[in-house]
A = this chain, B = another copy of it.
Amino acid sequence: MGRYAFGVDIGGTTVKLGFFDEEGHLLEKWEIPTVTDGEGAAILPDVAESIQAKMREKGIGSDDVAGVGVGAPGAIDSEGLLVGGAVNLGWGVFNVAKVLNGYLDLPVKAANDANAAAFGEMWQGGGKGYSNLVAVTLGTGVGGGIIVGGEILTGAAGAGGEIGHIHIEDDETESCNCGHRGCLEQYASATGIVRLARRRLAKDDKESVLRQGELTAKAVFDALKAGDPVAEEIAEQFGEYLGKGLSVVAAVVNPEIFVIGGGVSKAGDILLKYVEPAFQKYVFGPCKNAKFALATLGNDAGIYGAAGLVLNERMGAGADD
């Protein structure tokens, strides 16, 4: 068992890498470009080379490294298989853990990037100390990662925790990216908040700072903090949808804590003020003690979680040889 681990978070434009000690401290982090040409065939060799270079730089050998964890966009099952490929990397279906293990003589574990980020928040972030956790990422879309008993809930096809696509509104007329209508993502993502704002502003002529400048989720929360009453109505609607959606998640997996991250969560604690009351309004009694916290690792959640996959014995996905 080595004293170090690497965490890798593969995104569409850059790959983030982190070098961790066995207690989970991030000792160093860096990035390399994601080369998606040629069906992304260079991505994992580039990752392997970057890790080997870092090992040489640090003067450490294979015996010093517990392993490498990788998070990538796309559904990855508990064996490390990228079930449906990853369009924005150019990747088809293959076993990410096994291939990287083939380039590196180190144990490798792989997970979906949102699931890895959830694991990171449990291990060293806003959910530290909990082992039953739901991480909610409010960005362009709504992502999620579920940890049950200290392990990622990957599901049958690696699509566990896709809470952005739970049906929450019967009367929606616009389509979600997934093709359905009325998904949670249509109201609780940054894009969704803009949709709610746009609709509210079109309803009447009530004065609001939101009528000037670009309409963004950040603008809505800034206006809310400045006491804008229209922004408050929009925040209440957002909170109603997200709180209702998370009440459904709570009845299914009964988590100890929800950890809210992603760009929208930069609004801070004020966001929880609108989500928690709505959650309490809908949640099944025995599940009502779920706590709410903000994510603390930001963009590093993915590398933390990936490293955590190999340092935390409770997680078992990947190629161990």
Q: B-contacting residues of A (Cβ < 8 Å)?
A: 75, 78, 83-84, 132, 146, 148-149, 151, 153-163, 165-167, 170, 178-180, 183, 244, 247-249, 251-256, 282, 284-287, 289-290
Contacts and interface: CB of A to CB of B under 8 A. Distances in A.
A308 to B, nearest CB: 18
Nearest to A284: B165
B146 A252 contact: yes
Nearest to A183: B284
A284 B84 CA distance: 14
B252 A252 contact: yes
B290 A156 contact: yes
A166 B284 CA distance: 8
Most chain B beta-carbon contacts within 10 A, residue among A166, A255, A285: A166
A248 B286 contact: no
Contacts of A154: 254
Contacts of A178: 284-285
What are the 7 tightest A-B residue pairs by CB atom distance, in nearest-first order?
Answer: A155-B254, A165-B284, A159-B286, A156-B256, A159-B254, A160-B254, A166-B248
Q: How many copies does the complex hold?
A: 2
A75 B286 contact: yes
Contacts of A153: 148, 153, 253-254
Contacts of A251: 159, 162-163, 165-166
Contact of A286 (B157, B247, B287): B157
Contacts of A78: 149
B156 A254 contact: yes
Most chain B beta-carbon contacts within 10 A, residue among A83, A151, A155: A155
A287 B163 CA distance: 12
Contacts of A165: 251, 284
A160 B256 CA distance: 11
A78 B161 CA distance: 21
B162 A286 contact: yes
Nearest to A286: B159
Contacts of A162: 251-252, 254, 284, 286-287
